Amino acid sequence: MKQLTVKDNIVIGFMLFALFFGAGNLIFPPFLGQEAGEAFWPAMIGFVLTGVGLPILGVIAISTVDNGVQALSGRVHPIFGLIFTTVLYLMIGPFMGIPRGANVAYEMGLAPFLGENVGGVSLALFSIAFFALVYWLSLNPAKIVDRIGSLLTPFLLLTIALIGFTGLFNLEPSFGNVTEKYESAPFFTGFMEGYLTMDTIASLAFGIVVISAIKAKGITARKAIINTTMKTGIIAGIALCSVYILIGVLGARMGSVSTFQNGGELLTAAAEQFYGAAGVILLGATVGVACFTTCVGLITACAQYFTSILPNVSYQKIVTVLTIGSLLLTNVGLNQIISLSVPILTMIYPLTIMLVVLSFFHSYFQGSNVIYISTLLLTGIVSVYDGLVPVGLPSIFAWLPLYTQGLGWIVPAVIGIVIGLLFIPKTKNSSRLT
């Protein structure tokens, strides 16, 4: 069985790291550090589980199927596979991922130089120019985007490392006070905060990119692809953990001195404190270009997917709709985008987690879709309803274990697995997707 060299594993591992490490991911760990304060370590462990561990498992899960996320989610039912994949691309694209990236580019690249009373006009003008360029390049996606990204990622990491390690050596080692949000259950709160990276749902889209890179190296056997994906996943996971912990600790130490509205504002303040205006310019420019290339990549990926399911609609029209939608949502503002996305992520993250978990035991229950249906049905009833609670619905599932920690769906998921197992002997020759 052919295997990749250590160098090839490292190269693909860092490619996977670059896919996950969008500039938007910068804003969550430092803000977690500020809010968790002295409860930083249990909060960060929870964050790493959903922000690093689950995404890597998601990529490995995709390596077990032939046709990506729709084939994986289609194990439940083809209609579910279509709806789930569509929602996934909308979330990592125009509904959150792209507007968040554009806002981070604005918050860290331009806002620090505009003063405090610029209102929404500057964001509107910035976003129009930003998305005009995104639209133009997305219509003709070329290798230049990948090349810029591959060159920019090491530079971005170097900039973050410079600011992070400078903070470790210059700031007092004490952490800030624990905010109310993290007082009672910092681990579970950090676990839920990891949802905001969206990397677990994004991993189901990114997985096919990694597998294509592995196949391009001559690895074609399924077992070899899975083993190689695991190795590259470990490399990417170590890199992600290192960066998240570094900027998380920076946030915890900065939080003992001042309070910031989001992680972008915190990192900008750190850059200014340590390196003055030059540091702010360097950080802003690097993050801004990273956000731009990420948005082009996401527009392109989403447009390619929607073109595949809407063959009668041209690629150009889909790019136009995605760009305009992203532009409009960008002007809602970064904090508002994050707030609006929480209910949707609350709905689909548990479904994604269970879909990934079940994929690792697929062969043990003969590939029957009964377990997929029973597990995701009970999981979805709780998670979807829980996502609607902020709009005024009563918390009818508050009696479930771990509900107050945002994990009330776990027990229903386990019950769904048990129910499915009871029906396997009767349905082992029924619908089976491999």
Digit-coded pLDDT (tens) for 90-118? 998 999 889 988 988 888 888 888 766 56
State how far the Cα of 347 lies from the Cα of 336, in Å rounded to an integer: 18
pLDDT of 181 strictly over 80:
yes
CB 299 within 8 A of CB 131: no
pLDDT at 431: 45
pLDDT at 262: 84
pLDDT at 153: 72
State how far the Cα of 290 lies from the Cα of 302, in Å rounded to an integer: 18
pLDDT of 143 strictly over 70:
no
Length of the chain: 434
CA 344 to chain centre: 13
pLDDT at 406: 87
Taking the model in full, what pTM does it have? 0.85
pLDDT of 344 strictly over 80:
yes
Q: Read off the pLDDT of each residue in 200-207 and give the average, rounded to a whole number.
A: 87
Query: What DSSP letter does each residue of 305-360 carry, written as one string?
Result: HHHHH-TTS-HHHHHHHHHHHHHHHHTT-HHHHHHHHHHHHHHHHHHHHHHHHHHT
pLDDT of 24 strictly over 70:
no
pLDDT at 1: 61
Q: Read off the pLDDT of each residue in 222-226 and give the average, rounded to a whole number.
A: 90
Q: Read off the pLDDT of each residue in 288-296 and give the average, rounded to a whole number.
A: 84
pLDDT of 209 strictly over 70:
yes
State how far the Cα of 250 lies from the Cα of 302, in Å rounded to an integer: 34
Residue 293: band (very low, low, confident or very high) from pLDDT cuts 50, 70, 90? confident
How high does pLDDT run on average in the chain?
87
Residue 148: band (very low, low, confident or very high) from pLDDT cuts 50, 70, 90? low
334 or 371, which is more confident = 371
Residue 411: band (very low, low, confident or very high) from pLDDT cuts 50, 70, 90? very high
Q: Read off the pLDDT of each residue in 153-158 and give the average, rounded to a whole number.
A: 80
Residue 119: band (very low, low, confident or very high) from pLDDT cuts 50, 70, 90? low
Residue 343: band (very low, low, confident or very high) from pLDDT cuts 50, 70, 90? confident
Convert the pLDDT of each residue in 254-276 to its tens digit: 988 888 888 888 999 999 999 99
Fold of the 6-335 domain: Amino acid/polyamine transporter I (1.20.1740)
Residue 434: band (very low, low, confident or very high) from pLDDT cuts 50, 70, 90? very low
Give residue limits of the domains in the chain. 6-335, 361-434
Q: Read off the pLDDT of each residue in 369-388 and give the average, rounded to a whole number.
A: 94
pLDDT of 429 strictly over 60:
no
Residue 432: band (very low, low, confident or very high) from pLDDT cuts 50, 70, 90? very low
pLDDT of 252 strictly over 60:
yes
Convert the pLDDT of each residue in 386-405 to its tens digit: 999 988 889 899 999 999 88
Q: And the tokens for 43? A: 């909060």
Convert the pLDDT of each residue in 45-79 to its tens digit: 999 999 999 999 999 999 998 878 889 999 999 99
CB 375 within 8 A of CB 420: yes
The count of C-alpha atoms lying within 13 angstroms of the C-alpha of 158, restricted to the half-sphere facing its C-beta, is: 7
pLDDT of 144 strictly over 60:
no
State how far the Cα of 284 lies from the Cα of 264, in Å rounded to an integer: 10
